[in-house]
Amino acid sequence: MANTHSSQTLNQALTPVADTERVFGWHAHASLWFSLGVGLLVMQIGAYLVPAVGSRDAVVAIVLGSLVGSGLLAWTAKVGCDTGLTSAGLMHATYGSLFARLPVLLNIAQLIGWTTFELVVMRDGTAAIGKQSTGLSLDGFSGTLVTTLLWGSVLVLLLSGSMTTLVRKLIGRFGLPLVVASLVWLSWQFGTQLQAQGWEAFWSRTGDGSMGMPAAMDLVMAMPVSWLPLVADYARHGRTGRSAMSGTWLGYAIANIWCYALGVVVVSVAQPGVELVGALLLAQGGLIALSLILVDEIDNAYGDVYSGAVSAHSIKPKWSIRRWGVGLAVLCTGLALVLPMHSLEPFLLLLSSVFVPLYGVILGRLGLGQAASVSARKVDYGAAAIWILGIAMYHALAAWAPQWGSTLPTLVVTFVLAFLSRSKSA
């Protein structure tokens, strides 16, 4: 019995965080999630909305999808803060110590994928900036190698330090004001171009019918949903659940709405055949603004790797979170050298199909103030069955009833089933 307790306490991912480590106030949560919500990837996905849907539908989908998706993220943040558990800890408390390894491993896999995507985006953005500013071509093998290793080295360096210090000092005090200034400048530049082309024509533009409103909202919610398996790893360091929830909700919702909308505006005024990064560079002052956003992209990669390290530590606690983080960063850097950039939409929706029902169950069991602890039970068969049912439901709706969307119906059904069955599996 003593040995079991000792091994549990050595596993930082499955042990509630100590009060001395609860250092995040409202501003830290809001700064972190605004910063994590800003990125070139978000703008690129926003560009996918047009011309699939009309401008009005795109705006409605962006606002509603961001508020709902960010609210779900914030709710999970509150659960993480109230319980002091990591995302892996919440999975263990809900699904049992053995079965929880499956979603934990899936989370590690998707975080490796996200980090690799982020490194590719930063590498390609660096190549575009280098070509625009100096005429230097970094598209060849040597250029790709240098830029990828450059960003990979920065990532390794950040992971060698303290996560809480990074969030409170680097992001909150320095990174956030620069990113906000960049977004304001780009919004002004492209908003002016849009006004010159005619707001009325933009607002009345219809879509080509390839995507309906529910599907557009699913695509918008896919970004905050993709952060669900990470948010508790940071929120548990908050002082109160209320500040974790409100800071996360406000910070991420503003960033998501802003970046999705900016992606729509940029693609609407760009010349045919010009990619989003190229359009940003062509704007007045776009080189500086894009450079700052590109630098901010590193915290997205950091967030992915740190959370992946926490999840990996929950499985193999003999390796510290820092050691796991450095190892995963090196792995992702290597993958970024050999994996091309693929279409993001199917990847995002596939992640949603797994993590929407996963967290529908977690919130149904733990989201209304229920007690949470890492249980010695190996499998909670009820929770596992509801999760698998939710995945099937998500894909069935996408295939046979796309007009209803997949995210919200799946979330509601899994939440209700998990809540109603909570006493039976307690």
pLDDT of residue 235: 97
pLDDT score, position 426: 45
The β-bridge partners of 238 are 24
pLDDT at res. 352: 78
* pLDDT of res. 342: 54
Closest C-alpha to 279, from 44, 111, 6: 44
Task: Could you list the beta-strand ranges (E) of 268-383.
Answer: none
Contact predicate 62/46, CB 8 Å: yes
For residue 315, being part of any structural domain is answered with yes
What CATH number is given to the structural domain containing 216? 1.10.4160.10
Tell me if 46 is assigned to some domain.
yes
Q: Could you give the CA distance from residue 160 to residue 162 in angstroms, rounded to a whole number?
A: 7
Residue 415 covered by a domain: no
Return the pLDDT at 176: 84
Tokens of 27: 């501003």
pLDDT score, position 9: 46
Q: What is the pTM of this model?
A: 0.90
Q: Per the domain annotation, does 425 fall within a domain? A: no
Instruction: Give the pLDDT of residue 113.
Output: 86
Low-confidence ranges of the chain (pLDDT < 50): 1-9, 424-426
Question: What pLDDT is stored for residue 150 in this prediction?
Answer: 94
Domain count, the chain: 1
Nearest to 31 by CA among 179, 188, 139, 202: 179
The single-letter code of the amino acid at 275 is E
Burial class (CB in 10 A: 0-12, 13-18, 19+), 388: exposed
Give the pair of three-digit tokens for residue 337: 């050298």
Q: For 345-381, write each residue's pLDDT tens digit.
A: 577 668 878 999 999 999 999 998 776 666 668 999 9
Separation between Cα atoms, residue 217 and residue 214, nearest integer Å: 5
* 263 within a domain of the structure (yes/no): yes
Question: For 160-177, what is each residue's pLDDT tens digit?
Answer: 888 988 887 778 777 788
Domain with 132, as residue range(s), is: 27-345
